[in-house]
Amino acid sequence: MKVCPCGPRSEFFEEIGTTRNVSREGFYFLTKREYYQESMRLFVTLPYHSPAGLRDREYIGQVVRVELFDDGQCGVAVQLLSSVTATPPTRLPGSTPR
């Protein structure tokens, strides 16, 4: 996954990481960055590939929970609010594009 803040007053950064838990509604990841706050809006690419892959999707997400751990890491739960990129149409094997 890749995340970056989407608020007008937000400090810009990009963070690329691995999700710990994913569902249709959101995901959870660990980070050493202490910048995340509840209700913060993010641009999310999930899954994320470099270079970009056909399955990469962009979303607007919102931080719903931040957990601080003793080892200096933060757990961040993000709810996916809306899709930014459209899902390409699915083609059946042997069909011809229109």
* 91 within some domain: no
* 7 within some domain: yes
* 10 within some domain: yes
- Beta strand 2-5 with 15-16 is antiparallel
* 98 within some domain: no
Count: domains in the chain: 1
The pTM for the full model equals: 0.80
**pLDDT band, very low/low/confident/very high, at 51 (cuts 50, 70, 90):** confident
Q: What is the pLDDT at residue 83? A: 83
* 92 within some domain: no
* 93 within some domain: no
Q: In whole angstroms, how large is the CA radius of gyration of the chain?
A: 15
* 71 within some domain: yes
Per the structure, the complete domain to which residue 43 belongs is given by 2-83
Q: How does pLDDT run across 65-96, given as a tens digit for each residue?
A: 999 999 999 999 999 998 876 555 445 555 45
* 95 within some domain: no
